[in-house]
Amino acid sequence: MAHLLMVESWVGSMSRLLPRSIREGGHEFTFLTRDLHHYLRSAPEGTAHPLLGARNVITADTNDLDTLVPRIERLHEVLRFDGVLTSCDYYLPTVARIAGHLGLPGSAPEAVENACRKDATRRVLADAGVPGPRFAVHEEWADLARAAAEIGYPLVIKPVDLCAGMFVRRVDDEEQLAAAVRALGDFPVNARGQRRQPAVLLEELLDGPEVSVETVSHAGAVHVVGVTDKSIGGAPAFIETGHMFPADLATADSEAAEQTALAALKALGLTEGVVAHTEIKLTSAGPRVVEVNPRPAGNRITELVRHVTGIDLAAAFVEVSLGREPDLRGGETGLRSAAIGFLVPETSGTLEALPGAELHLSEGVLEVQLASQGRQVKAAGSNNEYLGHVMAGDSEGLRARGRVEELLDQVRSGLVIR
């Protein structure tokens, strides 16, 4: 039995999947957080959050690395950690620093930090010749306006240190750019109380479909598990409205996406102790890297992979965090594809009606999760405002996405927000 240190977590599905995988692997974990209630608020009423299954729950200021590392060093002397991990983007660099300090498995801290900063990722990949969009990074308005004109409208504005699509927007002219920059400036601290970087990233708007490549890195080798497709909505935002695994692509396109992701991971140095989710645009000029995430995919993509291949990426994440070779053999599951679709609110108000309680009885359905009546709803501007999801599988081919859309149409037909 191994003992893992988990430093913070996402509040979504990975906060449940990781504890499950740790337990099923015969291991235990200590959970370290600055605010336990941040997670407990997301637990369904009357149920215990899986994070409370930790051997120890310890409160510490996880945002102050200078005091955190000595605290963890003292804990390590008593509790003896065999690995350290997190599923939360905002704490991936912290975990890499802790692992390096304690001599535990993991990628080099600089590699993780570069992957978690969108501007640093762009610079590293550009220096390595890995294809991406034309870009510029600035803080001052005059520099941003000048760079935008040089790149050419329409373009994409991004924060360098947020996730879930927050404040990522398409802008078509200087007026829209100014509004987007102001909105970003009005959000100086992220949801975890960390002060944000003032730098703003501008990128060329890429054409073509977007996919993600799911990989596992161990002992210097990167194993490609597969390619996931995604649908995007909510313009001018870029909200993920659904995914299917495997992606319905020509073999050449899948291979091109995989090779581009592998090149990006190699350039960043993410070849040890990482389960990664690399987003790629299949443009008319060839594949281009959107971003590299040095943690398992969110939005339950890991569950899509498991339903189709039998490979549990959450379990693989636990094993590589312990420096162990993960089991990536998989096996026959009876499904050829699995898809998930999200219910994205287009208006704000109070949720008065949301049908779908019987959807779990429908053919091919794997999961149904829908918001409760009476919930306050905000028109979606990122991946954080979903009203629920439907997941379905197809045993014969790549029809899972179509099945999910049929089911979501049933839900949307009775959705009432006032």
Question: Which tokens belong to 166?
Answer: 């927050």
Q: CA-based angle 213:217:220, to the nearest 5?
A: 130
Q: Which fold has domain 133-204?
A: Dna Ligase; domain 1 (3.30.1490)
Q: What is the pLDDT of residues 157-211, one digit of tens each?
A: 999 999 999 999 999 999 999 999 999 999 999 999 999 999 999 999 999 999 9
Whether 314 and 6 have beta carbons less than 8 Å apart is answered as: no
Return the DSSP state at 168. Answer: -
Q: CA-based angle 115:121:122, to the nearest 5?
A: 165
HSE, CB side, 13 Å, CA atoms: give it for residue 328: 20
Q: State how far the Cα of 28 lies from the Cα of 352, in Å rounded to an integer.
A: 42
How many C-beta neighbours within 10 Å does residue 47 have? 7
pLDDT at 46: 64
Q: Which fold has domain 3-104?
A: Rossmann fold (3.40.50)
Q: State how far the Cα of 154 lies from the Cα of 275, in Å rounded to an integer.
A: 33
Model confidence at 45, in pLDDT bands (50, 70, 90)? Answer: low
Q: State how far the Cα of 317 lies from the Cα of 18, in Å rounded to an integer.
A: 8
Question: Which tokens belong to 173?
Answer: 């002219």
Distances (CA, A) of 3 to 22, 82, 254, 292, 386: 9, 5, 37, 28, 34
Could you give the residue ranges of the DSSP H alpha helices within 107-190?
A: 109-116, 118-128, 141-151, 174-185
Question: Which tokens belong to 112?
Answer: 């993780």
Q: What is the pLDDT of residues 226-250, one digit of tens each?
A: 999 999 999 999 999 999 999 999 9
Q: What is the pLDDT of residues 321-347, one digit of tens each?
A: 999 999 999 999 999 999 999 999 999
Question: Which residues make beta-bridge pairs with 226?
Answer: 214
Q: State how far the Cα of 22 lies from the Cα of 3, in Å rounded to an integer.
A: 9
Q: State how far the Cα of 268 lies from the Cα of 262, in Å rounded to an integer.
A: 10
Domain range annotation of the chain? 3-104, 133-204, 208-333, 339-418
Q: State how far the Cα of 304 lies from the Cα of 391, in Å rounded to an integer.
A: 8
Decide which of 3.40.50.300, 3.30.470.20, 3.50.50.60, 3.40.50.720 is the CATH code for 208-333: 3.30.470.20
CATH homologous superfamily for the domain 339-418: ATP-grasp fold, B domain (3.30.470.20)
Same fold, 3-104 and 208-333: no
Whether 160 and 118 have beta carbons less than 8 Å apart is answered as: yes
Strands 200-204 and 135-138, bridge-based pairing: antiparallel
Read off the pLDDT of each residue in 64-86 and give the average, rounded to a whole number: 97
- Kindly report which listed range (50-54, 95-99, 129-133) carries the lowest average pLDDT score: 50-54
